């Protein structure tokens, strides 16, 4: 018994492809990603990041030598003094 009709799928008759919501989901998700990618590219080109200064190494060494007193206090030392007035704080120990 050779039944070729069982192996081939019947041609669907009925509504066109754009009437099915799943088709729009399959098309809309990649389209949204493309739009988001171009939006990200536009934002990146419109406002580029500032360039690092050429003397960044010297500035880092100066910061390491003088950490800026109370403003750059380590978190463990500064967390207990969040509500303390700035003139009441002592400089952190090294």
| pLDDT tens digit sequence for 61-76 | 877 776 555 555 566 5
- For residue 40, is it within any domain? yes
Residue 3 clears pLDDT 60, i.e. is over it: no
How many folded domains does the chain comprise?
Answer: 1
- For residue 9, is it within any domain? no
Q: How far apart are CA 38 and CA 31, in angstroms?
A: 11
Query: What separation in angstroms does the CA of 18 have from each of 21, 23, 25, 26, 76?
Result: 8, 7, 11, 11, 61
- For residue 94, is it within any domain? no
- For residue 17, is it within any domain? no
Residue range of the domain that includes 35: 22-49
What average pLDDT does range 37-46 have in this prediction? 95
- For residue 91, is it within any domain? no
- For residue 63, is it within any domain? no
- For residue 42, is it within any domain? yes
What average pLDDT does range 28-34 have in this prediction? 96
Residue 90 clears pLDDT 60, i.e. is over it: yes
- For residue 15, is it within any domain? no
């Amino acid at each position: 018994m050779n039944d070729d009709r069982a192996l081939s799928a019947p041609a669907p008759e009925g509504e066109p492809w754009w009437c099915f919501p799943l088709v729009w989901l399959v098309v809309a998700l990649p389209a949204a990603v493309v739009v988001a990618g171009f939006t990200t590219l536009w934002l990146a080109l419109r406002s580029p990041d500032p360039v690092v200064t050429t003397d960044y190494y010297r500035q880092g060494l100066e910061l390491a030598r003088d950490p800026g007193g109370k403003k750059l206090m380590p978190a463990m030392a500064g967390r207990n003094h969040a509500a303390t007035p700035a003139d009441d704080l002592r400089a952190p120990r090294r």
